[in-house]
Amino acid sequence: MDPELEPFVPLIPRPDYADPVAERATTARLVASLPAPDTSAMRVTDRLVAAVPDVPVRIYRPQEARGAIVWLHGGGGIVGDLDTEHPSAARLAEASGAMVVSVGFRLAPEHVFPAALDDAYAVLCWLADSADELGVDPGRIAVGGMSAGGGLAAAMTLRARDEDGPPIRCQLLNQPMLDDRRHTWSARAFTRTPRLDAENLAVIWGANLGATPATPYAAPARATDLSNLPPAYIATAEFDPLRDEGIAYAVRLLQSGVSVELHQWPGTFHGSQAILSAQVSQRQNAELAAALRRALETSGPPG
């Protein structure tokens, strides 16, 4: 474990995803106790995207932002909303210079697959259709997310490819949740890692899928064809059950002709980049923002 992260490990409560109401309240209290991000240099607005049902979004627009990203929060698809994601979304907008559209997608277990994906994809289509109104170059739209949100972002690229949907400039997959089968070494061996372990990962997938069999749109690692997808930035954490599936997905993308930047962060655990005092967290957050900034620097088709 990174020496700057290790002192925090005993202080981190183990999530109880089997009690989503309590876990959501715990997460909200934790985020509310943190210093509020400085958004004075950007415009922050809430709105509803027309869909069935309508999808709440929070838009972070730095000055002179030309590109945009549809950003999907973590929390296992069970926990999280626009407010709990506010610090991370604001930080990403400030550091990247991109307009960040944070999505308040429907949560499990009340809403199982494909509810969250339908919400996220509706926002992607809305953003592409509203590019002129929003002052966004339609050739500079990315998708990305953390953990379960990273899995949703990967699924969005598959769906956009298959349905001839909006062009996606790049996919930013931060510690993505990609494989319901949980058959990698890290998914089986990490039984008591901080924040996420093998046991609560099983609870998460059960809540998200319900009685629905997994498809590639639910678990992108199941996709047999990863060709013709947008370039990817994939970040994994060393002590994370999701580590090996993220690395395997990066390798499969490369073997399918997709350009990939892969960062495996030593000494880190799932979500540890939220501990901003650690130098490794600062590097993780800076690299994520820099990858988005690079991807949106030039207009044109994905790739």
The residues assigned a catalytic role are 147, 240, 270
Gap between the Cα atoms of 128 and 141, Å rounded: 8
Scanning 145-230, the segments in alpha helix (DSSP H) are: 148-162, 185-189, 198-209
The alpha carbon of 105 is separated from its chain's Cα centroid by a whole number of angstroms, namely 12
Cβ neighbour number for residue 200 with a 10 Å cutoff: 19
Gap between the Cα atoms of 198 and 293, Å rounded: 34
Q: Specify the 3-state DSSP secondary structure of 134.
A: helix
The strand pairing partners of 55, in sequence order, are: 49
Contact assessment for residue 189 and residue 251, using Cβ atoms and an 8 Å cutoff? no
**C-alpha to C-alpha distances, 303 to 139, 141, 154, 171, 297, nearest whole angstrom:** 11, 12, 16, 11, 12
Q: Parallel, antiparallel, or unpaired: how do β-strands 42-49 and 55-62 relate?
A: antiparallel
Strands (E), 122-274: 141-146, 171-174, 232-239, 260-269
Scanning 33-179, the segments in alpha helix (DSSP H) are: 86-96, 115-129, 131-134, 148-162
* Phi, psi dihedrals of residue 70, rounded to the nearest 5°: -85, 115
Contact assessment for residue 60 and residue 42, using Cβ atoms and an 8 Å cutoff? yes
Gap between the Cα atoms of 78 and 169, Å rounded: 28
- Tokens describing residue 139: 């050739």
